[in-house]
Structure 1
Amino acid sequence: MTADAPAPIPVDWSTLPTPVDDGAAAHLPGMRLPDVTLPATDGEPVRLSDLGGTVVLYVYPMTAEPGVELPPDWGEIPGAKGCTPQSCAFRDHFAELRAAGADAVFGVSTQTREAQQEAASRLALPFPLLSDADLALADALQLPTFAAGGRTLHKRVTLIARDGVIETVFYPVFPPDRNAADVIAWLLAHP
């Protein structure tokens, strides 16, 4: 964690509903990253089909925005809560992820690039967030989604792709603040 980065938000995961594996991500291993271009918080659009090397895409519902109410009953939706702790964990373990073989790390949500820029700045993320606001990635990969607050949001899933092919998938991801450590362990076991 950098000196300017906020501390991760402590959450008692035992008080939240645990998501179950509904099989909605079982089709993803072996798929190619689609020819989809997503706006990034660093200003450079990212064409997923052009990504080479080992890429980690952690897909999450939405990061809370200051002054904006979360959807009703957010904490009662299995797997919804925990986006900020997950992003903070990827931030705090970024150097370890790189040392374990990740050439790139991206967070992906259906939030606008502007909302993500605020989160990336506030959380001092050393990697870009990608906006799938038009659900192009969700549609291309048939990612699991859910509806909340009148919006379609991604369910939490993490993809590791090598040279454009999804090699493994973490789904469901719970608790989300352990996801980065789980990804590191997998990368070290599969160099």
Structure 2
Amino acid sequence: MSQRLEVGDPAPDFTLPAVPGGTFSLSGHRGRSVVVYFYPAASTPGCTTQACDFRDSLASLQGAGYDVVGVSPDDLDALQRFAADEHLTYPLASDPDHAVLQAWGAWGEKTAYGRASTGVIRSTVVVDPEGRVALARYGVRASGHVARLREELGLG
């Protein structure tokens, strides 16, 4: 199991291929807070719920100084279809070798429906403008997570 990040830790920098086009680099967002959320698979019910919740809250998050990026092991074609189908307007980054997922503590053993497996642990980490972890939540539920996150960030 990978080591989970804690408040105050430096957020591991990463650059990943992303849609729409190009790459997403955490260091490229220095000076703004970034919500980095990790999800198991594009176009699945839970991941779609979570992605659409972030989409629907994006304007208020950005207005409060937060950028958003979703990270999954999906390839770019799957991410492109997901973004188009759900009208997602923030970057989705591809981490097929799980290196970023592991560095951020979002890859490891998990239990679903009574079965243990290794995979993506649905997680959200908020990085402050200086590149440090401001909030870290692991094993979150897809439904209602963005609303709870907004409350924790003081955005109501």
Alignment TM-score, normalising by the size of structure 1:
0.68
Matched-pair contact (CA < 8 Å) for 2:4–2:105: no
Partner AA of 1:182 in structure 2: R
Partner AA of 2:133 in structure 1: I
Match of 1:178 among 134, 144, 147: 144
Q: How does 1:89-104 map to 2 (within 5 A)?
A: 89-102=53-66, 104=67
1:114 counterpart SS class? helix
* Identical-pair percentage: 34
Aligned length: 148
Q: Which position in structure 2 is the counterpart of 1:83? A: 47
Partner AA of 1:113 in structure 2: L
Question: Are 2:98 and 1:135 equivalent residues in the alignment?
Answer: yes
Q: Which consecutive aligned stretches of 4+ in structure 1 deviate over 6 angstroms post-superposition?
A: none
Matched-pair contact (CA < 8 Å) for 1:158–1:171: yes
Q: CA RMSD in A?
A: 2.6
Provide the C-alpha distance between the structure 2 equivalents of 1:96 and 1:152, rounded to a whole number of angstroms: 34
Q: CA deviation at 1:153?
A: 3.1
Matched-pair contact (CA < 8 Å) for 1:25–1:171: no
Structure with bigger gyration radius = 1
Partner AA of 1:157 in structure 2: S
Match of 1:48 among 7, 19, 26: 26
Q: CA deviation at 1:59?
A: 0.7
Matched-pair contact (CA < 8 Å) for 1:145–1:154: yes
Q: Give the 3 Å change call, closer, same or farther, for CA 155–130 of structure 1 in structure 2.
A: same
Match of 1:123 among 69, 86, 89: 86
Matched-pair contact (CA < 8 Å) for 2:106–2:120: yes
- Structure 2: where are the runs of 5+ without partners? 111-116
Relative to its length, the structure with more strand (as a share) is 2
Q: CA deviation at 1:106?
A: 0.6
Q: CA deviation at 1:172?
A: 2.2
Provide the C-alpha distance between the structure 1 equivalents of 2:105 and 2:33, rounded to a whole number of angstroms: 21
- Structure 1: where are the runs of 5+ without partners? 1-22, 66-80
Q: Which position in structure 2 is the counterpart of 1:158? A: 124
